[in-house]
């Protein structure tokens, strides 16, 4: 029995490969560096879904259809009741997605790609007493998300930063939420059901719920001088350092540097608080040193969530929405894996070893 299915190969996939020893991520044969340097969200989405839906399409077609889908989906916000919209952002988003029809077709997939992008900004604005802003079908997804959040057209630096984030986290092998998506898809329940299960798995702080707590940690540490003592005391309390460690990566998560790089244009336009960035770097150095000393047998390095926290904060997302933004980017990976599993047709049903009591002898 492999606790946590550690090192268990549970599927063959053509979607992505996470090389934990080399610290390398490729998506459909394209390296992360190349995707980030040349890619847009719509581009990586078209790449991931290629050949998995009943129709074929290119990046430009997907961009247009997705923009139209955002406009269609916006109607669900008007119909949502106040109690639902008052839930924590990820729960409210999940409740709204649950109202979408299930299916395996491209229109269902489009609605699911559009839904988190439309729902999250609207939920956040409603929770701040502001009116939701309708999508602008002339914009690509990243720019429209920021416009629906802030009411202002984003700068190219802001759009590029969010696009880089969405590309970087679009797919990542059989992480917990993607595996959940495949399990549901293997029962032929439909894409909406797969995404609902995946969002639920993503919520956990051991998975996609970590970026918000990274900011909480930086706030608690306060200054670079406090970093070593604070981190040491946290580990003494048996706490996990949010934004560090990974089940697969035994070296630095390549996405950490992709996102650290995406911060640079925002720093140049004064969008990132310089002191915040300096504190994060000091905490990273201190954490790596302490983890190396405390866990000599387990390489623990920075993961995708650490610099995600600074990037999403700089773009104006409140920390309670960071997991929701993660879901916006990862939905395409969930859909692609769900379709790959549905086309394989095999039900996912592992076994367990029974260690409970046996019936009393008759
Ligand atoms: C994501 O799988 C994916 O690909 C996920 C993801 C994706 O793109 O989908 O990459 C996104 O989930 C990133 C991870 C976000 N979560 C966090 O940052 C939370 C903090 N990190 C962890 O809790 C932890 O590192 C996990 C959950 C990410 C991985 O845990 P594992 O593989 O189950 O490792 P483990 O629990 O077996 O830990 C091994 C040892 C333990 O020490 P011992 O009990 O052996 O002495 O390492 C320690 C752990 O205590 N450890 C940490 C630690 N992570 C592991 N100690 C302190 N801080 C940490 N962050």
Active-site annotation holds for 239: no
51: left (phi over 0), alpha (psi -120 to 50) or beta: left
Between CA 163 and CA 142 the distance in angstroms is 6
Query: Ligand 1 centre and the CA of 282: distance in Å?
Result: 21
Query: Ligand 1 centre and the CA of 47: distance in Å?
Result: 29
Q: Cα 225 from chain centroid?
A: 31
Query: Ligand 1 centre and the CA of 303: distance in Å?
Result: 9
Between CA 18 and CA 31 the distance in angstroms is 11
Q: Is the ipTM of this complex over 0.90?
A: yes
Kindly report the protein residue whose alpha carbon is nearest to atom 31 of ligand 1.
247
Q: Does pLDDT of 244 surpass 90?
A: yes
Q: Please identify which of the residues 246, 284, 337, 340 carries the catalytic annotation.
A: 246
Using alpha carbons, select from 337, 304, 66 the residue that is nearest to residue 169: 304
Residue 269's pLDDT band, with cuts at 50, 70 and 90, is: confident
**pLDDT of the residue at 155:** 95
Cβ of residue 247 lying under 6 Å from some atom of ligand 1: yes
In degrees rounded to 5, what are phi and psi of residue 18?
-110, 110
Query: Ligand 1 centre and the CA of 207: distance in Å?
Result: 9
Kindly report the protein residue whose alpha carbon is nearest to atom 34 of ligand 1.
247
Average pLDDT, the chain: 96
Q: How far apart are the first and last CA of the chain?
A: 31
- What strands, in cross-sheet order, belong to the sheet with 30-31? 16-19, 24-27, 30-31
pLDDT digits (tens, 9 = 90+) for 299-352: 999 999 999 999 999 999 999 999 999 999 999 999 999 999 999 999 999 999
Kindly report the protein residue whose alpha carbon is nearest to atom 27 of ligand 1.
206
Active-site annotation holds for 246: yes
Residue 273's pLDDT band, with cuts at 50, 70 and 90, is: confident
**pLDDT of the residue at 314:** 95
DSSP 244: B
Other C-beta atoms within 10 Å of 326: how many? 28
The partner residues of 31 in beta bridges, in order of sequence, read: 26
Residue 362's pLDDT band, with cuts at 50, 70 and 90, is: confident
The answer to whether the CB of 250 falls within 8 A of the CB of 20 is yes
Q: Does pLDDT of 38 surpass 90?
A: no
pLDDT digits (tens, 9 = 90+) for 21-35: 999 999 999 999 999
**pLDDT of the residue at 12:** 97
Q: Does pLDDT of 271 surpass 90?
A: no
Between CA 97 and CA 73 the distance in angstroms is 10
Rounded to two decimals, the pTM is 0.96
pLDDT digits (tens, 9 = 90+) for 281-290: 999 999 999 9
CA distances to 126, 144, 327 from 94, in Å: 16, 20, 10
* CB hemisphere CA count around 24 (13 angstroms): 9
Q: Does pLDDT of 218 surpass 90?
A: yes
Cβ of residue 243 lying under 6 Å from some atom of ligand 1: yes
* Dihedral sign from CA coordinates of 172, 21, 247, 8: positive
Q: Does pLDDT of 79 surpass 90?
A: no
In which element (H, E) is residue 214 found? helix 211-221
Other C-beta atoms within 10 Å of 52: how many? 19
Q: Given the CA of residue 240, which atom of ligand 1 is nearest to it?
A: 58
């Amino acid at each position: 029995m492999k606790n946590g299915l550690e090192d268990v190969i549970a599927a063959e996939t053509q979607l992505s490969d996470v090389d934990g020893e080399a610290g390398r991520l490729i998506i459909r044969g394209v390296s992360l560096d190349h995707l980030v340097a040349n890619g847009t969200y719509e581009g990586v989405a078209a790449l991931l879904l290629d050949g998995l839906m009943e129709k074929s399409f290119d990046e430009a077609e997907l961009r247009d259809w997705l923009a139209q889908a955002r406009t269609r989906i916006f109607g669900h916000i008007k119909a949502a009741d106040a109690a639902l919209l008052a839930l924590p952002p990820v729960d409210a988003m999940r409740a709204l997605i649950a109202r979408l029809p299930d299916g395996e077709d491209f229109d269902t997939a489009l609605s699911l790609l559009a839904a988190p992008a439309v729902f999250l900004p609207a939920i956040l604005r409603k929770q701040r007493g502001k009116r939701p802003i309708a999508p602008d079908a002339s914009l690509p997804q990243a720019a429209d998300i920021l416009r629906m959040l802030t009411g202002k057209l984003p700068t190219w630096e802001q759009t590029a930063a969010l696009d880089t984030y969405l590309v970087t986290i679009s797919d990542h092998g059989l992480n917990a939420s993607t595996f959940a998506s495949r399990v549901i898809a293997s029962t032929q329940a439909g894409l909406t059901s797969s995404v609902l299960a995946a969002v639920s798995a993503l919520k956990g702080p051991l998975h996609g719920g970590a970026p918000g707590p990274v900011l909480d940690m930086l706030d608690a540490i306060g200054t670079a001088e406090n970093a070593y003592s604070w981190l040491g005391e946290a580990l003494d309390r048996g706490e996990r350092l949010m934004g560090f460690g990974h089940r697969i990566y035994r070296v630095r998560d390549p996405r950490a540097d992709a996102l650290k790089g995406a911060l640079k244009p925002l720093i140049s336009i004064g969008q990132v608080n310089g002191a915040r960035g300096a504190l994060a770097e000091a905490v990273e150095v201190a954490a790596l040193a302490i983890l190396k000393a405390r866990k000599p047998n387990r390489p623990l390095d920075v993961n995708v969530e650490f610099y995600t926290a600074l990037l999403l904060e700089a773009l104006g997302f409140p920390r309670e929405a960071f997991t929701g933004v993660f879901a916006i980017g990862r939905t395409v990976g969930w859909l692609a894996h769900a379709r790959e599993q549905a086309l394989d047709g095999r039900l996912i049903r592992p076994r367990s070893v029974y260690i409970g009591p046996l019936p009393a002898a008759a």
